[in-house]
Structure formats: C-alpha cells, structure tokens
C-alpha cells in the first residue's frame, strides 16, 4: 500500500510539472511591448474620458480591443502580428456600434430618438415633412473622435532588451459637425409651456471610421430649443455626423411647439443652402426671423385646438 501511495505521488508531481512547463512554453502568443500615445492638438482641451484601440489581424481572425481610461493612452503587450489599427473614443452614450467584426463596414450610427426632446411625445409619431418618409428620427450625438493607421502595421518585439518599447501615436480628429439655430420674432412664445424643440432633416445617420466616410443613410436629427431672455426668441444647437450630400436630399428645419391648451404645432423652414454652404467647415449658424406660434383658445378666443393632431404653419425664410 505504501509503494502504491509513493507511486501515485510521483505521478502527480510529474503531471503537475508537465502542465506548468506547457503553460510556460505555450503561454498564448509572443507579445511585444507597445506604448499607445495620443496627440490632442485639435481638441481645445475637450478631452474624452476613455479611448478604445481596435486591432484587426491581417489573417481576418477576430479583432482585438484595448480600452484606455482617460485620453493619454498607455503601455500594452500586443500579440505579434500584422494589423490594421483604429482608435475612437468610447465615452459616448447616443452613438451605436454596427458591424464591429468587419473593419471596412464597422459603423458608428446616431442612436434612434425615442422621444421629442423635453417631452413625453413619441418621436415616431412626429409629422414628416415632404421627402423624409424613409428617414428615422435620431438623437443629437455626443462628441466623437477617431483616427486610424493607413495600411497595416507589423507588431513584433524588435529589441533583445524586453524593457524597450515601440510607440504608436494617434492624432484623433473631431467628427462632429455643429449646427446652431436662432429664431427671432417668435410670437406667443409664452404660451408654449409644453416645450419647444426642432429638427433638421437630410443629415448623415452613420460614419465608417476606418474609411473616414459618412454612410448614405439620411436621418432627421432632434434637439431642444430654449427661450431667449427677451422672451421673443428661441435658441438651440445640435451635434451631427454631417451632411451626407445624398443627391436630391433637402434640409428642412422643423420647429415643434406644444401650447398650454395641449395643441401641437409645427413650423418648417428650408435651410438647404445654409447647410450645404456651411456644415462641411465644422459648424454652421442658422439665423431666422418669424415664428408665429398661435395663441391658445381662452374663453372662446384664439384658435380652437386639436390636441390629437399636429397642425402645420408654412413660413418663408427671411434672412
């Protein structure tokens, strides 16, 4: 019995030793020491709270993702290989990922809006202006930064001294385009107690970060408006992926107002020229005059409300 026990003990030691040896020899992949750095010259100190690094192997195997807290990057141990590299911030909430497994069709998409901003009105029930039947309503997006390496990068330990590191630097660019809206001579603004919001149609719904191109999808982006101190103007802004320049797509600015009597009104402006001329530069300021919000019905006066339907007032643009 004693011999059997000794034999089993010896076998166990051999098995443990062989397992440890195998783990040491075949510990996943050989890895290189790499430092990832970021140049934020464009950011004006508007730094993201986190960054993601994506490595897509040349052999089309599964991508590798690393996450950095903050905006400065850091040191990594990356498996030897040849990769396509992409880095984007990851601290946004209203941008969705699509097709992450395939680099060339990896898309960042503006999140679909559920409600009209500042209200409990379902966005899908908002009136559609002419030519926007297929457009979904999207949210104004958070700040988006992106950069990539052109071509592929070979990652391999080039130093015999394993304390040495290689450095890969990214210079993320701001993808967002800003649209600022001001409308003066807003009549009866005091009666819009249910909120005032706006939308702009024909904007890009998605962005392909590795290709650095916009998707062909056109969306209508929603954002809130606030009353000016004068009580006669409204102001608002939205952040979008840009103008997708799809042939024939117009840009309509729609103002939505919910009055104290429950009636719902919308007013449209054609802002195609302003968007086309200004948005590619990074931002555009749209200044309009005249927003004739109707007075609600009081004691038989004013306009009788139809609280179930949106009612439209067409307004010509006055520059």
pTM of the model: 0.84
**Secondary structure (3-state) at 25:** helix
Q: Specify the pLDDT at position 274.
A: 94
Residue 226 domain-assigned? yes
CATH number at residue 20: 2.60.40.1120
Same domain, 112 and 82: no
Residue 146 domain-assigned? no
Same domain, 188 and 85: no
What pairs with residue 74 in β-bridges?
Answer: 36
Q: How many domains does the chain have?
A: 2
Same domain, 244 and 267: yes
Top pLDDT among 158 and 270 is at 270
pLDDT digits (tens, 9 = 90+) for 164-196: 668 999 999 999 999 999 999 998 999 999 999
Q: Specify the pLDDT at position 14.
A: 39
pLDDT band (50, 70, 90) for residue 140? very high
- pLDDT, the chain, mean: 86
Q: Specify the pLDDT at position 92.
A: 97
Domain span holding position 76: 1-91+151-173
How many angstroms separate the Cα of 52 from the Cα of each of 71, 95, 125?
10, 14, 36
Top pLDDT among 244 and 199 is at 199
Handedness of CA 143, 148, 154, 157 (dihedral sign): negative
Same domain, 201 and 305: yes
| 10 contact partners, CB below 8 Å, separation of at least 6 | none
Same domain, 135 and 249: yes
How many angstroms separate the Cα of 236 from the Cα of each of 8, 25, 44, 110?
78, 61, 22, 19
Q: Which of 34-48, 125-139, 256-270 has the lowest mean pLDDT?
A: 34-48
DSSP 152-173: -EEE----SSTT--EEEEE--E
Residue 99 domain-assigned? yes
> In this structure, are strands 177-187 and 153-155 parallel, antiparallel, or unpaired?
unpaired
pLDDT digits (tens, 9 = 90+) for 196-225: 999 999 999 999 999 999 999 999 999 999
Same domain, 60 and 166: yes
Mean pLDDT calculated for residue range 252-275: 94
């Amino acid at each position: 019995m004693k011999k059997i026990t000794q034999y089993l003990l010896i076998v166990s030691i051999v098995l443990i030793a062989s397992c440890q040896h195998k783990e040491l020899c075949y510990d996943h992949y050989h890895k290189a020491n790499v430092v990832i750095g970021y140049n934020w010259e464009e950011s004006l100190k508007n730094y993201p709270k986190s960054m993601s690094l994506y490595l897509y192997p040349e052999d089309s195997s599964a991508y590798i993702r690393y996450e950095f807290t903050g905006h400065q990057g850091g040191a990594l141990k990356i498996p030897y290989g040849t990769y396509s590299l992409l880095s984007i911030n990851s601290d946004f909430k209203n941008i969705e990922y699509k097709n992450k497994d395939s680099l060339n069709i990896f898309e960042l998409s503006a999140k679909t809006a559920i409600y009209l901003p500042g209200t409990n009105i379902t966005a899908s029930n908002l009136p559609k202006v002419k030519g926007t039947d297929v457009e979904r309503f999207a949210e104004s997006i958070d700040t988006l930064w992106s950069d990539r390496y052109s071509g592929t990068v070979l990652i391999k330990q080039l130093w015999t001294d394993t304390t040495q590191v290689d450095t890969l630097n990214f210079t993320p660019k701001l993808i967002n385009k800003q649209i600022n809206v001001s409308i003066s001579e807003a009549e009866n603004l005091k009666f819009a107690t249910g909120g005032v919001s706006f939308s702009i149609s024909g904007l890009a719904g998605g962005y392909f970060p590795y290709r650095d191109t916009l998707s062909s999808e056109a969306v209508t982006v929603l954002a809130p408006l606030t009353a000016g101190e004068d009580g006669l103007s409204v102001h608002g802004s939205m952040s979008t992926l840009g103008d997708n320049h799809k042939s024939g797509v117009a840009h309509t600015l729609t103002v939505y107002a919910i009055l104290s009597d429950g009636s719902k009104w919308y007013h449209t402006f054609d802002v195609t020229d302003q968007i086309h001329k200004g948005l590619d530069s990074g931002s555009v300021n749209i200044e309009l005059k005249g927003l004739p919000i109707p007075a609600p019905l009081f004691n038989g006066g004013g306009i009788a409300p139809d609280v179930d339907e949106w009612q439209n007032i067409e307004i010509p643009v006055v520059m």
